Amino acid sequence: MTALTTAPPTPLTPPTGERVLCAMSGGVDSSVTAALLKDAGYSVVGAMMRFWPDDKRTDTFDSCCSPDAAYEARRVAEQVGIPFYLLDYREQFQRHIVGPFLEEYAQGRTPNPCVNCNTKVKFDELVKKAKMLGCRYVATGHYVKRVDTADGGVEFWRGDDPQKDQTYFLWGTPRGALPYILFPVGELEKPRVREIAEERGLLTARKPESQNICFVPGKVQDFVAEHLPQATGFIREISNGEIVGNHLGTQFYTLGQKRGMGLYQSHKVRHIVHLDPKTNTVWVGDYDDCLWGSLKASGANYLCDLADLPREVEVQVRYRTRPVRATVLHADENSFELQFDDPQFAVAPGQSAVLYDGPRLLGGGLINDHTRELPEVFGSPALPLNDPALKVQGFGKRLKSPSLFEDERLRVLI
């Protein structure tokens, strides 16, 4: 992609007619993004990526990715006075997002599909599409700040609204694409964005925010149950291997979870500390058993030169948690290892470890499983859902419906 190796013009003062492809979702953030770009003098082309398949019911996709959202995005484009295109990304979305999402759960990991979507679709496929359409830039409604440095470089910094900052999801952006991405709302707070939409009479001004995973119509557990085979098994105590309960299938749980597990002694507080799909075993222990002193991450991507990666960094291991201090023990092109200053609770494999230097996004990687010694046992064979042993413990009816369990995994994902 030769366009990504040449020095871009300064985006704050675009030449007359400089074209930018604005990714529109039918929400207020991308609507205001399009309006601000038009005001700044860009030649704006609105576009929405179509993810929903023809054979899915209308409520399968969340409001940000639905046919209704596409209609609203087109209407906003008309209000702003820009052309609008619906781009077909169904095959790419299935290949890069939905398929890996289910594969990760099958392996006992807790994925974050929004990271994959930004990395492999929005800021890879869409940047290529923008070039094909003669657009110099791609712009989105992410709450991220683009910082142009004195030496001509581009950095991504946390957005000015701390409640809305979305840099966590952008660590996988190809570094060469940074000069060609714009974030017009990155220096605004959400209330001001809605004010701008109200002032311009945009129909999305009061549209509620999307809270769910876009392709999951209800609970994550129900979606996983629909697509992955369900095999019940044993829950074991991490300290001695004792069987303390029965589970629905390792894909329905996540590290740190303490409710909705079907333990024999439900009054005893236990946390999930390890998932082992190979033996179909869920391991539980106390709070301290869930503390990680370090982590290893693979699939690394850096938005700075590897030689410039600080030894002392801040790392964020979930979207809705505060960053914590850590020391980089090792880093290469594909992976890194960190030592936390203070042990962290339930660092979930499959989630992202995102690196920062103050407000600057440095990169990140996918958290690997935490290797630990397990008690020697004979394994945990799958049990049929109507097995009398399960009903003796009083779990027969609950085991038939994973949707009855509290969806703690969703708390980790969003």
Catalytic positions, written as ranges: 117, 214
Which one-letter DSSP state was computed for residue 405? S
CA distance 114 to 51: 13
Question: How many other C-beta atoms are found inside a 10 Å radius of the C-beta of residue 218?
Answer: 12
Q: Provide CB contacts within 8 A for 307, sequence distance 6+.
A: none
- Assess contact for 111 and 350: CB atoms under 8 A: yes
296: nearest Cα among 324, 322, 320, 330: 330
Burial class of 208 by CB neighbour count within 10 A (0 to 12, 13 to 18, 19+): exposed
> Could you tell me which of 353, 240, 238, 249 has the C-alpha nearest to residue 302?
353
DSSP letter string over 216-283?
A: -SS-HHHHHHHHS---BEEEEETTT--EEEEES-GGG--TT--SSS-BSSTTS--EEEEEETTTTEEE
Please choose, from the candidates 33, 25, 29, the residue with its C-alpha nearest in 3D space to the C-alpha of residue 71: 25
Q: Is 191 exposed, middle or buried (0-12, 13-18, 19+ CB in 10 A)?
A: exposed
How many separate helices (H) and strands (E) can be counted in the chain? 11, 17
**Cα dihedral 202, 203, 206, 212 sign:** negative
Q: Say how many C-beta atoms besides its own lie within 10 A of residue 315's C-beta.
A: 24
String of DSSP letters for 101-130: HHHHHHTT----HHHHIIIIIIIIIHHHHH
